[in-house]
Structure 1
Protein backbone atom coordinates (compact mmCIF):
# COMPACT_ATOMS: atom_id res chain seq x y z
CA UNK A 1 0.00 0.00 0.00
CA UNK A 2 2.78 2.44 0.90
CA UNK A 3 4.52 1.65 -2.37
CA UNK A 4 1.40 2.52 -4.37
CA UNK A 5 1.02 5.81 -2.54
CA UNK A 6 4.69 6.62 -3.13
CA UNK A 7 4.37 5.86 -6.84
CA UNK A 8 1.19 7.95 -7.13
CA UNK A 9 2.86 10.87 -5.37
CA UNK A 10 5.92 10.63 -7.63
CA UNK A 11 3.77 10.58 -10.76
CA UNK A 12 1.73 13.54 -9.54
CA UNK A 13 4.83 15.66 -8.91
CA UNK A 14 6.82 14.64 -12.00
CA UNK A 15 5.19 17.22 -14.34
CA UNK A 16 5.92 20.04 -11.87
CA UNK A 17 9.58 19.06 -11.87
CA UNK A 18 9.64 18.99 -15.66
CA UNK A 19 8.22 22.52 -15.86
CA UNK A 20 10.64 23.78 -13.24
CA UNK A 21 13.64 22.46 -15.15
CA UNK A 22 12.68 23.89 -18.53
CA UNK A 23 12.26 27.49 -17.37
CA UNK A 24 15.99 28.16 -16.83
CA UNK A 25 16.88 26.66 -20.21
CA UNK A 26 14.26 28.84 -21.90
CA UNK A 27 15.59 31.92 -20.10
CA UNK A 28 19.11 31.07 -21.27
CA UNK A 29 17.90 30.68 -24.87
CA UNK A 30 16.19 34.07 -24.69
CA UNK A 31 19.30 35.70 -23.21
CA UNK A 32 21.45 34.26 -25.99
CA UNK A 33 19.04 35.36 -28.72
CA UNK A 34 18.80 38.89 -27.29
CA UNK A 35 22.51 39.39 -28.01
CA UNK A 36 21.97 39.28 -31.77
CA UNK A 37 18.27 40.12 -32.13
CA UNK A 38 17.27 42.84 -34.55
CA UNK A 39 13.95 43.97 -33.12
CA UNK A 40 12.31 47.33 -32.79
CA UNK A 41 12.90 49.07 -29.49
CA UNK A 42 9.29 48.36 -28.47
CA UNK A 43 9.60 44.65 -29.26
CA UNK A 44 12.98 44.45 -27.51
CA UNK A 45 11.46 46.02 -24.39
CA UNK A 46 8.49 43.63 -24.57
CA UNK A 47 10.82 40.60 -24.83
CA UNK A 48 12.85 41.80 -21.86
CA UNK A 49 9.67 42.40 -19.86
CA UNK A 50 8.31 38.93 -20.69
CA UNK A 51 11.66 37.33 -19.87
CA UNK A 52 11.70 39.04 -16.45
CA UNK A 53 8.08 38.12 -15.86
CA UNK A 54 8.92 34.51 -16.70
CA UNK A 55 11.79 34.49 -14.22
CA UNK A 56 9.66 36.07 -11.50
CA UNK A 57 6.88 33.53 -12.04
CA UNK A 58 9.41 30.68 -12.05
CA UNK A 59 10.88 31.86 -8.76
CA UNK A 60 7.36 32.12 -7.29
CA UNK A 61 6.64 28.51 -8.31
CA UNK A 62 4.18 29.34 -11.10
CA UNK A 63 5.84 27.25 -13.80
CA UNK A 64 2.91 27.16 -16.24
CA UNK A 65 2.73 30.97 -16.07
CA UNK A 66 6.47 31.19 -16.50
CA UNK A 67 6.33 28.88 -19.52
CA UNK A 68 3.63 31.08 -21.09
CA UNK A 69 5.57 34.33 -20.61
CA UNK A 70 8.84 32.80 -21.81
CA UNK A 71 7.09 31.20 -24.76
CA UNK A 72 5.71 34.57 -25.85
CA UNK A 73 9.19 36.13 -25.53
CA UNK A 74 10.63 33.32 -27.67
CA UNK A 75 7.88 33.83 -30.25
CA UNK A 76 8.73 37.53 -30.54
CA UNK A 77 12.41 36.61 -30.95
CA UNK A 78 11.60 34.01 -33.57
CA UNK A 79 13.13 31.11 -31.65
Structure 2
Protein backbone atom coordinates (compact mmCIF):
# COMPACT_ATOMS: atom_id res chain seq x y z
CA UNK A 1 0.00 0.00 0.00
CA UNK A 2 1.34 3.35 -1.07
CA UNK A 3 -0.14 6.54 0.37
CA UNK A 4 -2.66 4.37 2.14
CA UNK A 5 -4.17 3.20 -1.17
CA UNK A 6 -4.40 -0.33 -2.51
CA UNK A 7 -2.89 -1.33 -5.85
CA UNK A 8 -6.33 -1.27 -7.49
CA UNK A 9 -7.01 2.26 -6.23
CA UNK A 10 -3.59 3.43 -7.47
CA UNK A 11 -4.26 1.85 -10.87
CA UNK A 12 -7.65 3.60 -11.02
CA UNK A 13 -6.10 6.93 -10.07
CA UNK A 14 -3.38 6.47 -12.71
CA UNK A 15 -5.99 5.69 -15.40
CA UNK A 16 -8.05 8.73 -14.47
CA UNK A 17 -4.93 10.92 -14.58
CA UNK A 18 -3.97 9.46 -17.99
CA UNK A 19 -7.44 10.15 -19.40
CA UNK A 20 -7.39 13.71 -18.07
CA UNK A 21 -3.96 14.35 -19.59
CA UNK A 22 -4.96 12.80 -22.91
CA UNK A 23 -8.16 14.88 -22.98
CA UNK A 24 -6.21 18.04 -22.26
CA UNK A 25 -3.70 17.25 -25.00
CA UNK A 26 -6.53 16.54 -27.44
CA UNK A 27 -8.24 19.86 -26.69
CA UNK A 28 -4.93 21.74 -26.96
CA UNK A 29 -4.28 20.10 -30.35
CA UNK A 30 -7.72 21.06 -31.64
CA UNK A 31 -7.23 24.62 -30.46
CA UNK A 32 -3.82 24.84 -32.14
CA UNK A 33 -5.25 23.39 -35.36
CA UNK A 34 -8.07 25.92 -35.41
CA UNK A 35 -5.62 28.76 -34.85
CA UNK A 36 -3.39 27.53 -37.69
CA UNK A 37 -6.39 27.29 -40.04
CA UNK A 38 -7.57 30.76 -39.03
CA UNK A 39 -4.10 32.22 -39.65
CA UNK A 40 -3.85 30.54 -43.06
CA UNK A 41 -7.30 31.83 -44.02
CA UNK A 42 -6.44 35.39 -43.00
CA UNK A 43 -3.15 35.25 -44.92
CA UNK A 44 -4.98 33.99 -48.01
CA UNK A 45 -7.48 36.86 -47.75
CA UNK A 46 -4.67 39.40 -47.41
CA UNK A 47 -2.89 37.92 -50.46
CA UNK A 48 -6.09 38.05 -52.52
CA UNK A 49 -6.79 41.65 -51.56
CA UNK A 50 -3.23 42.66 -52.38
CA UNK A 51 -3.44 40.99 -55.80
CA UNK A 52 -6.83 42.57 -56.46
CA UNK A 53 -5.42 45.98 -55.58
CA UNK A 54 -2.57 45.49 -58.08
CA UNK A 55 -5.02 44.38 -60.76
CA UNK A 56 -7.32 47.34 -60.09
CA UNK A 57 -4.35 49.70 -60.38
CA UNK A 58 -3.22 48.17 -63.69
CA UNK A 59 -6.72 48.36 -65.16
CA UNK A 60 -7.34 51.91 -63.99
CA UNK A 61 -4.17 52.99 -65.82
CA UNK A 62 -5.37 51.42 -69.13
CA UNK A 63 -7.24 53.32 -71.78
CA UNK A 64 -10.28 51.80 -73.53
CA UNK A 65 -8.38 50.21 -76.44
CA UNK A 66 -5.88 48.59 -74.02
CA UNK A 67 -8.75 47.15 -71.96
CA UNK A 68 -10.36 45.84 -75.15
CA UNK A 69 -7.12 44.08 -76.16
CA UNK A 70 -6.56 42.73 -72.63
CA UNK A 71 -10.01 41.11 -72.81
CA UNK A 72 -9.17 39.46 -76.13
CA UNK A 73 -11.03 41.90 -78.34
CA UNK A 74 -9.78 43.93 -81.25
CA UNK A 75 -10.04 47.65 -81.66
CA UNK A 76 -11.76 48.73 -84.87
CA UNK A 77 -10.78 51.76 -86.92
CA UNK A 78 -13.57 53.82 -85.36
CA UNK A 79 -12.20 53.02 -81.87
CA UNK A 80 -14.88 50.55 -80.85
CA UNK A 81 -14.12 47.16 -79.41
CA UNK A 82 -15.11 44.02 -81.26
Say whether the fold is shared (TM-score over 0.5). no
The structure whose Rg is larger is 2
TM-score (norm: length of structure 2):
0.40
